[in-house]
Amino acid sequence: MIRAVVFDLFDTLVDLHMDRLPPIEIDGRRFPSTAGVLHSLVRRRAPATSWPDFMKALIAVEREVRAPRADQGRELPTLERMEEMLRRLGIADGGLAQDLTEEHMRLLREQVTHHPHHVEVLERLRGRVKLGVCSNFSHSQTALRILEEAGLRWQLDAVLVSDATGWRKPRGEIFAATCAALGAAPAETLHVGDHLRLDVAGAAAAGLQTAWLVRRIADPEASLREHSGPAPGHVIRDLAEVPGLLKAS
C-alpha cells in the first residue's frame, strides 16, 4: 500500500532549462552560466575585481568546497558559496553575498517552466496519500517560490530541500527525513524522479518504492543499460500516470 508520494522538484514537478542562461566564454568556449551577471554585480561594489580573478575564485570554491561536499552527500548553500567566493577575492561587503545569492536565484527561477496539468495530478492524489517534495537544491526559499508560482506549494504536506536538511540525494538521510515529515514508512512511500542514481537508486536504498520519470530523458533504454543500480519499480512518461500507480499498489 502506498500512503505517501514524494516528488523530485526539477525536471519532475517543474523543468529547469539551464541551457537558457546567459552565455559566458572561457578559453574560446561558450557556456550558459549566471557568472557574467554576478561578476557585473560584484564590480558595481568592488570595481577592481577583474573577470579572471572572479572566475578563479568561483571555480576554486566549486572544486575545493562544493564538489568535496557533494561527494560526501552534503549540500553547500548558495549564500555560503557566495560568502566564500568573496572571502577569496578579499571583498568585505556584508550585504553583497546576499545580493549575489538573490540574483543567482532570480536567473535560475527565470529558466523554470511549468506543466499546468501537474496541479490537477496533485489534486487527484491529495486526500488519498500524503504528498511531499525531496529535492537537491541550494536555496530552499527559491524552491518554495518556484512551487508557489507553479500552483503546487499548498497541495504539499512537506517540502525537504538539501540546503535545509544538509544532506543531498542519494544519501538515505534526506529520504528518511522526508518520510518522517510525512508520517509514512519508507516501504509505504513512492518516490518519483528523473535521475536514476539520485532518485531511483537513492530512494530504493532507503527502502522507498520508485517511479522513474523519463519525460526529459533522451534515450531511456540507453540510460538503463548504463545504470548499475537497482531498476526503477515503475517507468512513466508523465506525472499523470502516478494516480494509476496507487490503484495498482
Q: What is the DSSP letter of 188?
A: G
CB 137 within 8 A of CB 10: yes
Instruction: Compute the distance between CA of residue 225 and CA of residue 234 in angstroms, rounded to an integer.
Output: 16
Instruction: Compute the distance between CA of residue 114 and CA of residue 63 in angstroms, rounded to an integer.
Output: 32
- Domain definitions of the chain by residue range: 4-15+113-248, 18-109
Q: Per-residue pLDDT tens, the chain, 249 aa: give them.
A: 999 999 999 999 999 999 999 999 888 899 999 999 999 999 999 999 999 999 999 999 999 999 999 999 999 999 999 999 999 999 998 799 999 999 999 999 999 999 999 999 999 999 999 999 999 999 999 999 999 999 999 999 999 999 999 999 999 999 999 999 999 999 999 999 999 999 999 999 999 999 999 999 999 999 999 999 999 999 999 999 999 999 766
Start-to-end Cα distance in the chain:
5
Cell numbers placing 66? 562544493
Instruction: Compute the distance between CA of residue 164 and CA of residue 245 in angstroms, rounded to an integer.
Output: 30
Domain 4-15+113-248: what homologous superfamily?
HAD superfamily/HAD-like (3.40.50.1000)
Q: What is the DSSP letter of 22?
A: P
Element (H, E) at 24: strand 23-26
pLDDT for 26: 84
Show Cβ contacts of residue 238 under 8 Å, excluding neighbours closer than 6 positions.
213, 215
Instruction: Compute the distance between CA of residue 88 and CA of residue 222 in angstroms, rounded to an integer.
Output: 42
pLDDT for 247: 77
Q: What is the pLDDT of residues 174-202, one digit of tens each?
A: 999 999 999 999 999 999 999 999 999 99
User: Considering only CA atoms, which of 213, 173, 171, 157 is closest in space to residue 8?
Assistant: 213
